[in-house]
Amino acid sequence: MAHLSTRTTDLKKLRSSYWQLLPFLRTQTGTIGRALVCTLIFTAFWPQLAQLAGTATEYLSTGQVGKMAQLSGVLAIAFLINKTAQYGQDSLMAKAALNIALALRKATYIHLQKLDLSYFETSKTGDLTYRLTEDVDRIGEVIKKLFHDFVPCVLQLIVVLIYMVYLNWQLTVATFVIAPLMALLVGWFGELLLRFSRRSQSRISDLSSLLTEVFSGIRLIRAFAAEEYEIDRFAQIAEQNRQANYSAAWLQAIQHPVIGFLYALSIIFLLLLGTWQIASENLTGSSFVRYITAVVLLVDPIAHLTENYNLFKQAEASVDRVFEIMAVNPAVLEHPQAKRLPTVSGKVEFQRVKFAYQLEQPVLQEIGLVAFPGEAIALVGASGAGKTTLVNLIPRFYDPQAGQILIDGIDIRNVTLRSLRRQIGIVPQETILFSGTIAQNIAFGQRQIDLEAVEEAARVANAHQFIQQLSEGYQTWVGERGVNLSGGQRQRIAIARAVLLNPRILILDEATSALDSESETLVQEALERLMENRTVFIIAHRLATVRRADRILVLEKGQIVESGTHPELLDQGGRYAGYYAQQFSA
């Protein structure tokens, strides 16, 4: 239950992770099975081709036109069957690979939705985006290659080798003396490539994260004339990415000629042995043609196997990166027997609550607090006193290390997260709007939009008038993060969102701190309507916004040091009175 900065992960899941794809592969066993049948038909063609090549040589050398015509018909039918099987293999494998990639992407996204806020606070947005897009796509491509290319090549290699042994086992044994050396070299190159690929993907994730930061903070960059600084940062990370990619490309550039040279040596060795076998009358010319055809048929699968092995090693880094996310255990877990929280009156109790992001640095200490239904409680204190942390425990964004939080006498750890959070409304300082219409943003999280209810919520939030003046009213498209709306407009949409949710408990986190006077007046009116008959927690540095609260709590170093109404705390002459005098001394 305890939330710490050090994440809890299942270390077994962080090993080389291809085996972890098995559950996803099982969902496509039918499609993969049909594709493998097509692969077997496709592969069985190759030794027949070598056999027919030898027969064709005999017919050509003796001028048997009739038999050559019959053989041509057989070849045409064989090629038709072969290519039909190849189509079945390719189309079915593409379907299976794309389905597996989709299932993996959805599973990873669902798992991310279960992780607590601190994971996202310490993770790079660009890196997470890259893992869900590029890394998953690469895994899908590898799965496709595995069954579309790798398995057929292995089968082709096995079938052709068996046929070569059947033709002349002495030649086959002698030819593949070099094979163990080739296998060792391919494996060694593959391990190096995996190391370079991990470095490359780490660099491209850094680049993606940098771009996300820059595009999100472009106004600040312009304001501080920091374009040159950001260009330098981009150039540095882009150069690191180039170097990592070049290392992988350089390695592959060395690998191909080395493996190709060894393969050429084996062919030369084969020609010498074949000539000796024919001279010794242990092999006929037509049989040697069949054998050479079989050897030629090995060139393509060996080349593909080398390339695929490199691809598998590169993609292994992607598999590890995706399953690294899946291995993170959520710090906030829903109890298996959790029940739905019934509609509450809004009584909130903190009983000896302790919380720390890191054990050696407690944020809240022995918090005891009861908020009665309909009561407005303001939280005041210096930055870092624990105000936001305290209210973040109510919807279980985090869980305390000790103590209990009760709503209407029910421990919030014993109810479902959805039923808990659907009764808590939050109006944050920085309003987050998503790409979509105004109506969709007000009805955020609701599958069916009731436009009448949306409009009524907007009226309560003092947003209806400005929405009507927009080009398409409630169907006006809101740009990313709502940048085409003013701060006050975004805040009133956030209030309308909370009104539509109709929560019993309301959290206002610096809801008016960044607004001009006119916008603040409109927002304050909307908030007062929203607060009616609800239990409200108000966080504010500007004490003018908390004077009308039923109770004001002063927090210091994670403890409640003062409690009372605005007049009572001023009369006490304590910390609150000092804050108030400091703000209004002018």
User: Is it the case that residue 246 has pLDDT exceeding 80?
Assistant: no
The pLDDT tens digits for 136-159 are 888 888 888 777 777 777 877 787
Distances from the Cα of 527 to the Cα of 242, 378, 462, 530, 536, angstroms: 52, 14, 9, 5, 10
CB-neighbour burial class of residue 278 (10 A; exposed 0-12, middle 13-18, buried 19+): middle
**Nearest-10 crossing angle of helices 285-326, 29-62:** 160
Domains and CATH numbers, the chain: 11-326 (1.20.1560.10), 430-502 (3.40.50.300)
User: Is it the case that residue 467 has pLDDT exceeding 50?
Assistant: yes
The pLDDT tens digits for 480-503 are 666 678 777 888 888 888 888 888
Q: What sign does the CA torsion over 534, 537, 539, 545 have?
A: positive
The DSSP code for 443 is: T
How confident is the model at residue 370, as a pLDDT?
A: 93
Q: Look up residue 177 and give its two tokens.
A: 């003396």
| Average pLDDT of the residues in 216-245 | 74
How high is the mean pLDDT of the chain? 79
Q: Look up residue 89 and give its two tokens.
A: 């293999």
Q: Where does the pLDDT of residue 14 fall: very low under 50, low under 70, confident under 90, or very high at 90 and above? A: very low
Which has more pLDDT, 441 or 45?
Answer: 441
How confident is the model at residue 11, as a pLDDT?
A: 37
The pLDDT tens digits for 505-539 are 989 887 665 555 556 677 777 777 778 888 999 88
| Average pLDDT of the residues in 289-306 | 72
Q: Which residues, including other chains, have CB under 8 Å from residue 35's CB and lie 6 or more apart?
A: 88, 89, 92, 93, 96, 147
| Top mean-pLDDT range of 87-91, 285-289, 541-545 | 87-91
